[in-house]
Amino acid sequence: MAISTRDGGKVAGKVAFITGAARGQGRSHAIRLAEEGADIIALDIAAQIDSVPYAMATEADLQETSHLVEKAGGRCLPIKADVRDIHALDDAVRAGVAEFGGIDIVIANAGILFFSAETETLEDSARKFADATDVMLTGVFNTLRVTQQPLIDRGTGGSVILISSTAGLRGMLDGTGGLSGYCASKHALVGLMRGYAKLLGKHKIRVNTIHPMGVASPMLVNPEFEAFAAEHADVVDVSPRLVPVNLLEVGDVSAAVLWLVSDEARYVTGISLPVDAGVTCA
């Protein structure tokens, strides 16, 4: 972990609302922003979605994120809530504003991944597509909807990041419902971002997307995905890469997050930022 620079941090005094914060990228973003002076509202479903093929985060994971944020010098409010439930999200935002006084940064990070090249029934295909889009498109809209006014009310501008994927720029599909929903959602985030960048720009609130390639997080580093990748290399292959790397570390994405939410990027809005070793331009 990097040495805390909270006193002169790049986001000192800011409050960040982060979804999918119990582990992986979300946890990494929370810790990195805490090191740079932010307090964190850390939200996660902390439960299993039946159609997801790997073990999802738990309440213990969410509490560990809170512990690590506090170890980094930040205050943390961990909240168990499902991004698919707009009223639960609204309650979480209200609790965060009551605790910390407002919200300056929003990182819509919650996501799930499906991988199965096996034949699906129509019902399975439809269910997985719906689960994917419910979490990664409807859930992102819900996050934007309930944080929009608190960001405006803060009166000092703000920054919103939607975590997309290289699949949201170049596509990734195996014909199954879950991966179709993933690809469609990650593309759709670009449209949401551009619209909200125009809507919120007059309030000095910036909105951007980040598009990582594969990241070494529990979404990919798990026995189920490793078994799938061994049998279906053609589906998971993202060659060619301009920089020879197989997986990013979560901190690589957090570094981009920190830059975009800081004043160093104060005039950067409406962009799709790849963090992908050149995958999308190769």
User: Active-site residues: which are they?
Assistant: 182
How far is Cα 126 from Cα 137, in angstroms, rounded to an integer? 16
Helices (H), 37-103: 59-71, 86-100
Which pair of tokens denotes residue 152?
A: 């405006």
CB-CB contact of 127 with 114 (8 Å): no
How far is Cα 278 from Cα 244, in angstroms, rounded to an integer? 9
How far is Cα 32 from Cα 69, in angstroms, rounded to an integer? 8
* Cα three-residue angle 62-64-67, rounded to 5 degrees: 115
Single-letter code of the amino acid located at 123: E
